[in-house]
Structure 1
């Protein structure tokens, strides 16, 4: 039998992955831009409604959960599988950032030894929309033996997880914001929001202020937003102090020899209280005017009643004040008016405040 001649151009073939069938090309037209925007709006609306729906379910169980977490003597162990597990990891990180000791426990790893991270005094936060996640249910008997209370965040108050827990925070049955109704979207948004609500309620119920927050957030924009002047100000040998009766020559010497060359000197009385400031700019202006008497007492030529800040002032507030005054240094005084430090623009630059 004669073979038919081969075509000069070969048709491309889709290579199937092992165990998968090659998808057939879709005959449906691609959605237009407006349809895609409408889809996005529907998702956001569905997730927003899911979160708002949880607000109507808050009550006595939520308050009990807040008290359990607040009174936790050990760690808050957050656990969950799949998408709920990812939400749980964020929840654990949020708890830790507000001063509540917390770790995330992966359910699959827990049954192979990581359960050793759990101890008496801990509290369990278990996340599962269905409440029937097999990996979580396998841990429940161990939690009972360890006498660790379990708080379930779930969408089914009658699920095995809910029935085995000490407290149930029910988000209710939520329709997913997915064309197929399958991809976790609205339900995970509700779990996420409920976890944040629990954390913020616990935070509100215990002593935790901006200083505590700053201690746990030393880096990045968050850290800078709560940083205090005492963390950046120059003190000790780096704080240029001169007496008000000192001659200008001595003041210039102090400004020159002080570590870091701050370009200013804080002028104090005999009790160490701030009475003025003298800067490089003041010196340049005198020289330009031909005033070169370096024996003159600094109290006669200093800037009097200088603007200053306290050690507890927020650095961002002090930075704004320096911008407004167009100065490069701000004296730092204590409650008695003593000059205890100097805030210099060089240090603000290094800390990325300017």
Structure 2
């Protein structure tokens, strides 16, 4: 076989990570080479994240206490890939109840420094610690008396020397054939930032109610939503006295805004004693029981299952599925009927 044909038939492999001897590819690699290199990248990034634990110590504790005690905003800043990680970190801070904004270093020197005020805390992210745009901000931060927490891979860098607290991710080899593209270093910055936020969150009073307030939309919001946010109340809550006739009950169900498929039956103190539903009415008519002068007390469902306003909507939805019902009465601590949870409202809110 001619030399040129043998060269074309030979499939090249990807260049290995630092420390490996595999040569760089000169043409498209085969499937196995691609998969092998992908595994290498993940392993390098995983080692970088785990390696960041070696730098944890009192500086991390000081940083966490600064963020926790911040009276203003946590200002996150960084350039390039570190800046993108910083934007995510700022969003995570905000989602856990810590006021935060991202400050672009290049824009900051042209007026956006006005976003920074005394009482703020700065989180500056740079693997090299030599990012020029960040270094130009340090004197201004010092004049504003805003403490700077540096997340960096070089504790001897200009950024580290100008910071009040340094969080070290360590010297990291990038998961890149050239050893240049920020990959493993940004993974470590990302993980260390998350560790800082979660440590602060763990030390504060921040529960599901606060989380729900900040996450009203999507699956996250629905997972912590409470019944009182969806239940029908006031004029839309169909209530009838236990002395009412069936005619009166049907009238209430028909005239109540939203046409609920049930009415909650209460005693003279407003306490829930039963429920009457469209299904109950339909079954009576099918059985030829068309006397609408009968008292609802005689035909209502007694001791109905109910929920409280503080019940998670997801739990209430699961209960409705289990009972195979379309409505659940909502009662307060004294047993008073304060609302009705209707399947139509769950459908609108995408719980079912």
TM-score calculated relative to the size of structure 2: 0.92
Aligned to 1:276: 274
Q: Secondary structure at the match of 2:119?
A: coil
Find the counterpart in structure 2 of residue 321 from structure 1: 319
Using the alignment, how far apart are the partners of 2:258 and 2:172 within structure 1? 61
Q: Give the Cα separation in 1 of the matches to 2:341 and 2:71.
A: 41
The alpha-carbon deviation at position 56 of structure 1 amounts to 2.4
In 2 relative to 1, CA 27–249 (structure 1 residues): closer, same or farther, beyond 3 Å? closer
1:46 Cα offset (Å):
0.9
Residue of 38, 41, 65 corresponding to 1:40: 38
Deviation at 1:29, TM superposition (A): 3.4
What is the CA–CA distance in structure 2 between the aligned matches of 1:74 and 1:268, rounded to whole Å? 50
- Aligned residue for 2:56, secondary structure, equals coil
Segments of structure 2 that go 5 or more residues without pairing to the other structure are 1-23
Give the Cα–Cα distance (whole angstroms) in 2 for the partners of residues 304 and 50 of structure 1.
62
Once the 2 structures are TM-superposed, how far is the Cα of residue 27 of structure 1 from its aligned partner? Answer: 8.4
Q: List per-residue Cα deviations over 1:154-183 (Å, max 9, x = no partner).
A: 001111100110000000001111111111
Q: Which position in structure 1 is the counterpart of 2:342? A: 344
**1:144 corresponding residue in structure 2:** 142
Secondary structure at the aligned position of 1:330 is classed as strand
Q: Corresponding residue for 1:167?
A: 165
SS of the residue corresponding to residue 257 of structure 2 reads coil
Q: d(CA) in 1 for partners of 2:27 and 2:196? A: 45
Distance in 1, Cα, partners of 2:275 & 2:39: 59
Alignment of 1:79-98 (within 5 A): 79-98=77-96
Give 1:295's aligned residue: 293
The 1-side partners of 2:170 and 2:240 are apart by 70
Distance (whole Å) between structure 2 residues aligned to residue 123 and residue 263 of structure 1: 54
Aligned length, in residue pairs: 329
**Residue 264, structure 1, aligned to residue 285, structure 2:** no
Report the counterpart of residue 220 of structure 1 in structure 2.
218
Compare 85-94 and 292-301 and name the one that shifted more.
292-301
Deviation at 1:279, TM superposition (A): 0.2
Structure 2 Cα separation of the partners of residues 47 and 301 of structure 1: 67
Give CA-to-partner distance per residue, 1:128-154, whole Å, 9 cap, x none.
000011110010011111110000000
Q: Could you tell me how far apart the structure 2 residues matched to 1:55 and 1:241 are?
A: 60
Q: Determine whether 1:304 maps to 2:302.
A: yes
Rounded to whole Å, the distance in 2 between the matches of 1:124 and 1:28 is: 45
Divergent runs of 4+, >6 A: none
**In the aligned structure 2, how far is the partner of 1:27 from the partner of 1:200?**
42
Q: Normalised by the size of structure 1, how large is the TM-score?
A: 0.92
The counterpart of 1:31, out of the listed 29, 32, 56, is 29
- Distance, in Å, in 2 between the alignment partners of 1:209 and 1:161 is 36
1:93-151: CA deviations, max 9, x gaps? Answer: 11011111111111111111111111100000000000011110010011111110000
1:235 matched residue in structure 2: 233
Distance 1:100 1:315 in 2: 26
